[in-house]
Structure 1
Amino acid sequence: MPQSIEEHVGARIARIRKQRGLTQQGLAIRAHVSKSLLSKVECGQKPASPALVAACARALGVSTSELLGQPYADDLRRDRIDTLIQPIREGLENWDVALDWETAPRPAALIWTDVEHALEQRRQARYTDMVRTLPVLIDESVQAVHTSTGEEQRLAYECLAESFRCVFTVAWKFGFLDLATVALDRLAWTAPRADEPGLAAMHAVLRAQTTMSSGRYDVGLRVVDRALRDLDGQQSRRPAGIEAMRGMLHLRAATIAGRMKDRDHADARLVEAQALSQVTGELPDFGVTWGPVNVAVHAVSIASDADDFGRAIELAENVRIPRDWTRSRAGHHWIDLGRAHAWSNHPEQALDCLHRARRIAPQQTRYHPTVRETVLALKRRERVRSSSLSRYAEWVGV
């Protein structure tokens, strides 16, 4: 098995650090982390938190995806997902130019029906099915924009914006950060033309997500707070959806604050989100998973990201995920909890969580860097060879 497959994040940090001619002390100073923590991460004794990965990536001049080992090219080729990415890249080449079609595009309402289906595939983590439809949806939405006026044109812009949002999701999930950046830029151009404040808020949620990857937490919080101010007094065709987006912005701020190790700020944002969720209940507006359950799983995720594994496990005891809940969010919860159990020396519970994630959202789980890191940690620590862990590791590709 190639060394790169078995290489955990800490080992990648050490390898690239040495290629840069840096000592551990030198990298620790540049990344503003302790040398002791960096040493333990490099040798696999401590987990590489998202905040540490972002800090080391900035200090080393590489992307976080390189430290995480993404995209997993060999595995993507094995599952033939890599062949679906190129048509997406080509589809993003046009977002503002009308073409000479011999036939008119479908009415925007019909295109919107397919976009809603793609959004549901996104929420249920059926990414392969979603990606196959996106290039056509983008082309048809662009053409509809240029051949219509009034409300028909506005809806066509909304179709285009949501299609770009779906591209961002799949590109981000599979580690194609360059493609995700392009999709985010396209969404920034399209959302205002759709004349729907919820889409502008969605762009802010996604942009703040990218700042977490780069470690620019100050920018992320400013993006969130500006978007929250912009929502004040806005009229929307989906008023409840605006409250959902307001809540999602607070959750994004809570996650950022957690990675900044500002627990008080993170908890305050979670309180804001929880208060909104009690008013709205569970809502799927703008393709998001919003409601009290999502606030609760975010609290678990934030604690796990901060390496506060005991708190993550304790908070998870009060989480009750509905049977029909969004698969992408449910799968992510079990991934986060599996990480917490693995580093709390609960290998059986950790593997059980990973199996749950696989059953709920297999594509998301197989290509999630946290899953691979958790599996590698379990393999390093196992005292007696586990056939269940071996089979899971083979399925993941480590």
Structure 2
Amino acid sequence: MQQATWIGGAMKPTGKDVDPQDRSFGQRVQKLRKDQGRTQAELAATLGKTSSWLSQVERGIQPVQRMDLLQQIADELGVAVQQLRPGPSEGSGMSQQAAPLSLSNDLDETRRLISGHPALQTLLAGGDSEELRPVDLLRNDVNDLWELTHSGRMAQVSALTVELLPELERATRTAPEGARDELHLLLSRTYQALSAAFVRQDEADAAWVTADRAVFTAERSGDPLHVCASVFRMVQAFVRLRSLGQAEHAARTAIDALVAEDGASPEALSVLGSLHLSLALVHARAGARSEAKEEIGRARAIAIRLGENRNDFNLEFGPVNVEIQAVSTAVDLGDAGEALDIGLTIDAADLSPERQGRLLMDLGRAHAQRRHGGEALDCLLRAEAIAPEIIQTHQSARAAIRELVLVAGVNASRDLLDLAERADALD
């Protein structure tokens, strides 16, 4: 029977089941590292990884399949990629080009797609293209993309995007003029979904790129509220990039524009309220307590005026989401008691798995701040069950897990240690 263990949120082989090629690769990395007199921690830091991750690579447990990461490791060690991972032998009948490295199962294919120009061939051909699918079918695909994003099914997000995004990019350039506004809107919604997905995967630079494209295509659609919704996605990317000044400027610019127009439609209120919540997040991360609470208060007033939970522009704005953000803001500011007082009264059952998972993660963080180890672990495990990437990619979640392990010491439970391993929280 094969032996396996949970590592980094996925089942990895151990012992005899390690792929010989991965083991050989790890041994080469280890030898080169040691020849240079570098520790695992030192090399891992230059790669933006943890020492535990590098340890798993060197033991062959953690495969390195992304070409960009393989190139980065080779560059750091001062060798060619071919020295780290030789291609097939000459007698194998396969060239290196015929056997490319596989990509991981999340958003790598999508990231590669947006690194090029999805419609360059159409431009060079002077606008000629194959027949376009009906707009209602494209619209259904965009709706499905958002559903997959909210559900955290990132492999399916990537698979759908690889087909849908180039098609929409071509359609906006080749469809009759009268149909292009709606196609630009569908393209903007697609880029908004991708930005949200990249944020959830902690791919902040890709989230910024896609949010910027969402802004541009929303403007071409003639829908200013979608422009503002795209700015919301950009703010989230800036926060993940720790560019709080840019995040504040982007949010404030959109808020000022909406207030100046005095939009009172439910859709406009949803966008405005969501932007105030994003600004509360920015202030909380900056430690600006009073400013963060003022923005929560403004969002709460808008939610009361709105009177219901809505999902305009896939923002899920409404009274419940405001309180979820109030919990997160309180935890970021160190007000664990306030966070628990608010959070334990919230019924988020009707919201997406993303929102439910975020609430549970923040409640876990609040319990951890109060040294409620059992309650914190329970919340974090429930968050992981609903939305695994929140635990695996969110720095605050990993910090809370690490703190729980340190506090528990030798009494740390198996469940806690396993969670810490899956979240890569044990540097």
TM-score class normalised by the smaller sequence: 0.7 to 0.9
User: 2:361–2:391: 8 Å Cα contact kept in structure 1?
Assistant: yes
Counterpart mapping for 1:252-271 below 5 A: 252-271=278-297
- The equivalent of 1:244 in structure 2 is 270
RMSD value, Cα: 3.2
Between the two structures, name the one with larger relative contact order (CA 8 Å, sep ≥ 6): 1
Q: How many residues align?
A: 334
Equivalent residue number for residue 309 of structure 1: 336
The 5-angstrom pairing of residues 29-108 of structure 1 reads 66=48, 82-92=104-114, 93-94=116-117, 97=120, 99=122, 103-108=130-135
The equivalent of 2:383 in structure 1 is 357
Provide the TM-score with structure 2 as the length reference: 0.70
Q: Which has the larger radius of gyration?
A: 2
CA contact (8 A) 1:160 1:190 kept: yes
Q: 2:395 aligns with which of 363, 369, 382?
A: 369
Q: Is residue 420 of structure 2 the alignment partner of residue 393 of structure 1?
A: yes
Query: Is 2:358 the partner of 1:332?
Result: yes
Query: What is the CA-CA distance between 1:232 and the residue it aligns to?
Result: 4.6
3-state secondary structure, aligned to 2:350 = coil
**CA drift at 1:252:** 0.9
Alpha-carbon distance change, 225 to 350 in structure 1, aligned in 2, over 3 angstroms = same
Matched, 1:208 2:235: yes
CA distance in 1 between partners of 2:406 and 2:158 (Å): 36
The runs of 5 or more residues in structure 1 that have no matched partner are 6-61
Alignment of 1:126-275 (within 5 A): 126-232=153-259, 239-275=265-301
**Equivalent AA in structure 2 for residue 145 of structure 1:** T
Q: Bigger shift: 342-351 or 83-92?
A: 83-92
Structure 1 distance, partners of 2:378, 2:343, is: 14
Aligned residue for 1:380? 406
- Cα 1:222–1:310 change in 2 (3 A) is same
Query: How big is the shift at 1:214?
Result: 4.5
* Alignment partners' CA distance in 1, 2:315 and 2:50: 26
- Aligned residue for 2:390, secondary structure, equals helix
The whole-number CA distance in structure 1 between the counterparts of 2:247 and 2:196 is 18
* Residue aligned with 1:261, SS: coil
Q: CA deviation at 1:338?
A: 0.8
* Cα distance between partner residues in 2 of 1:81 and 1:392: 25
Name the SS for the 1:82 alignment partner: coil
TM-score by length of 1: 0.74
Name the stretch that deviates more: 312-321 or 100-109. Answer: 100-109
Distance 1:324 1:94, change over 3 A: same
Secondary structure of 1:382 counterpart: helix
Equivalents in 1 of 2:303, 2:192: separation in Å? 23
Instruction: Quote the Cα distance in structure 1 between the aligned partners of 2:392 and 2:103.
Output: 12
Structure 1's 380 and 213: CA in aligned 2 closer, same or farther, altered over 3 A? same
Choose which of 296, 301, 306 in structure 1 pairs with 2:323: 296
In 2, distance between residues paired with 1:128 and 1:83?
5
- Identity, in percent, stands at 23
Task: Determine if contact 2:330/2:339 at 8 Å carries over to the other structure.
Answer: yes
Deviation at 1:126, TM superposition (A): 2.2
Change (3 A) 1:177 1:255: closer
Residue 117 of structure 2 aligns with an amino acid whose one-letter code is N
Asked if structure 2 preserves the Cα contact closer than 8 Å seen for 1:125 and 1:364, the reply is: no
Once the two structures are TM-superposed, the CA of residue 368 in structure 1 deviates from its matched residue by 2.8
